[in-house]
Amino acid sequence: MRYPVFIEKDPSSDYGVTVPDLPGCFSAGSTIDEAVNNAEEAILTHIEGLLMDDEVIPTPSKIEDLKAIHNNPDYIWMLCNINMDKLSENIKRINITIPEKVLSKIDNYASMERESRSAFLTHAALEYISRHSIR
């Protein structure tokens, strides 16, 4: 799952990172790399909190759509690649049946996204639930 973030820097502060799709999810760092790494941790923590509270996980927006809302030419926009395998320390192994051709498509897409099959399926399920939830 890739969440867009914007980075801003005031001369007297560290780099600040905002995750527009996850209200209240912020991070910072003394370098851009540190700020992005901290943002990835913040996003995982935020998503885990939403799951614990039985809340819907927002689907990531497109950067172009967010730039229209957060119109600041000084923002640096990036995508944070969130490894859903790291979402929780409590992992449950399951056994599912999927047609071979569908599994091949899943594996190819997951590989292109540099995700494991499990991370991709977790991401796909959460995105589906987010889009179809009536909450």
Could you tell me if residue 128 is left (phi over 0), alpha (psi between -120 and 50 degrees) or otherwise beta?
A: alpha
What is the number of H-type helices and E-type strands within the chain?
4, 4
Number of domains in the chain: 1
The pLDDT of 109-128, averaged and rounded, is 86
pTM for this prediction: 0.73
Q: Please, are residues 36 and 60 in contact by the beta-carbon 8 Å criterion?
A: no
Q: Please, are residues 102 and 93 in contact by the beta-carbon 8 Å criterion?
A: no
Which residues span the domain enclosing 128? 2-132
Q: What is the CATH number of the domain that holds 77?
A: 3.30.160.250
* pLDDT tens column, 17-27: 999 999 999 99
Please give the pLDDT value at position 81. 86
